[in-house]
Amino acid sequence: MEYRKIGDSELKLSVVTFGAWAAGGWMWGGTEHGESVKAIRAAYDLGVTTIDTAPAYGQGKSEEITGEAIKGIPRDKVQILTKYGLRWDSTKGEFYFSSLDNSGKPLKIYRYAGKESVIKECEESLRRLQTDYIDLYQIHWADPTTPIEETMEAVQSLIDAGKVRHAGVCNYSVEQMIEAEKYIHLLSNQVPYNMLRRNIEKELVPHILKQNQSILAYSPMERGLLTGKMQPGHNFSVGDHRSTVAYFSDENIRRTNAFLNQLKPMAIEKGATLGQLVIRWTVEQPGITIALVGARNAEQAVQNAKALEIQLTQEEIALISKELARLQLVL
């Protein structure tokens, strides 16, 4: 495994970070608690020391699984990244969207990051994670009803109290980051980035590089699409959000697989899966410090961790990018 510093801090994260959204089951058609714990532990055994979770992932389920999985591991040997600002137990803030919880009951999600809420969420996360501090605390989505100043000052108070080590954001624009940086020292921005979604390269990546910050790329596999294992007509489980996402239309699955087929000879030559090749390409892109990769079981977690065992030359990266330029999705 490889490790990289986040921003200008001394905090080092595993380049493949365990993304625990799917582990919480919410919007993924449910979860199997025991398998998720085994997945995190299997990843740790291969050097994946960093776990990214959030209260919203299963309404606390993902954090509870994370806390159980790291029990017994020295706290300074693992890095916990979690979030705040998505509430399902309060109607404050801005209504975000409706969903179903893991039991199939209606659920309404609100974006809210008022001071009292941020502090309350932190305390609840610490309890579920069974720890006394969070390595990187990130706002999940911008809250248009609360001044960024109020939110960031709340996080700073948590840093001053020793409950949070560092601050980051998720899904922030450049303008929002500039505003937040007036009140707190930011290390990173966690945003979606993969071979199919590269819009951040125009504005966000240059800003991140200029500020000596980091991008934590989530959905590097585009939620499983870039593994090459998904076929047109795929039957998604009830509650799986991908069933309504344009990337997963039959036509886009066909076009994506045609592109991936062009990469198969390179993957075979390196003894790698297509997914491992995709992960390695992702973390070699400018500004991308780590990739958050999800796993539902230990086998998937092991495969993800081993992506860092392969190497890509600049020529191979250029060849992949050339093939990628020909891919046109219907979105």
Q: For the chain, list the domains and their CATH numbers.
A: 3-83+115-225+273-311 (3.20.20.100)
pLDDT for residue 228: 85
pLDDT for residue 198: 93
Q: Is 129 helix (H, G, I), strand (E, B) or coil?
A: helix
Name the nearest CA neighbour of 133 among 122, 143, 147: 122
- The model's pTM is 0.91
Name the nearest CA neighbour of 135 among 110, 158, 111, 105: 158
Identify the active-site residue in 57, 84, 112, 193.
Answer: 57
172 in catalytic set: no
- Burial of 12 (C-beta count, 10 Å sphere; 0-12/13-18/19+): middle
Which ranges of the chain have pLDDT less than 70? Answer: 24-31
pLDDT for residue 293: 94
pLDDT for residue 59: 87
pLDDT for residue 28: 53
pLDDT tens digit string along 48-84?
999 999 999 988 999 999 999 999 999 999 999 999 9
pLDDT for residue 27: 52
pLDDT for residue 239: 74
pLDDT for residue 26: 54
